[in-house]
Amino acid sequence: MKFDEVGSFDETLAEYKHALEKLASFGIKIPKSSRLRTYQKRIESLLKQPGDLLRVSQAESDKMPFDFREMDELIFIINSFMDEPTSQELERLRLLPGGTENPDDETSAKARDAQFELFLRAMFIQAKFRIEMGAPDLLLSDGHSTFPIEAKRPGSHRRFEDRLRDAVNQLQRQKSWGIAAISLDHVIRPRRGYLAVREHKYLAGAVARFMHCYLEANLRSIGKRLMGKSYVSALLFILRIPAKVHDTNLTLLGSNVHIEPISEANQPGYEVVKALLQILKGVYI
């Protein structure tokens, strides 16, 4: 599945301010020093620049794709709450104001791990399915099957195996067929790197090719480690890459979601694969 989003900072800023107000209404404190406030202040400052941001330094300009990525994701997460958060959801939401401005600078994973779990929750809420947070990370139901999802966000290519192993062990302890959902943002994208495309229309295809190339090179070895040795029914890979258009400096966000079945038809856990494939038909990120 391929999706991409165009950055309109005026519109995004208005939505972002509303999202932060909603987050505060849940009783969550957002300090002035929080990264959440920094995004707002920086974009407000940039929008005051005359001449279509011509006076913005290259250093500030390079921050914009990452600011847009984080703001877009936080809007998506916070707006997914139609009711008061549960205690488990509040536990994750309280972590959001923490962390560094740029996800590439993280030394503690708590804030961004919580953000990834909340992003997955919002994604399944969008598809109009029941989702609960807790332990496991997420518990998803399509009305017939209920299954766990363990969310992992490796900080680099080297950490992929460790994080996958954690997901396998957690599902093994539960003795329940489920999903390992893995963010490939830091596995595929170079640190502080964003994608430059010639035109907006090329973004979705470019991000899809990154996903395809990574899976083509690594999926066979990953599958061998999982087949018949774990309770992982399927792998859910998510890739979200900030981008810019060469000539116009238009800020973009390219997203790709890929499901890799591990359980095959007539094998234990295949009902989870079928449910996940059906659920994700309703996802547009």
Strand pairing category for 130-133 and 2-6: unpaired
pLDDT of residue 268 exceeding 80: yes
Provide the greatest CA pair distance for the chain: 63
% of the chain with per-residue pLDDT over 90: 71
pLDDT-wise least confident of 9-13, 24-28, 152-156, 162-166: 9-13
- Mean pLDDT for 241-263 is 90
Q: What is the pLDDT of residue 258?
A: 95
Q: How confident is the model at residue 2 (pLDDT cuts 50, 70, 90)?
A: very low
Identify the pLDDT of residue 214: 96
Tens digits of per-residue pLDDT, 57-92? 777 778 889 999 999 999 999 999 999 999 999 999
SS (H, E, C) 10-21: HHHHHHHHHHHH
pLDDT at 116 over 90: yes
225-242 per-position pLDDT tens digit: 887 778 999 999 999 999
Each residue of 120-160: pLDDT tens digit?
A: 999 999 989 999 999 899 999 988 889 999 999 999 999 99
pLDDT of residue 1: 44
Which pTM does this prediction carry? 0.93
**Residue 238 near residue 202 (C-beta atoms within 8 A):** no
Chain centroid offset of residue 56 CA: 28
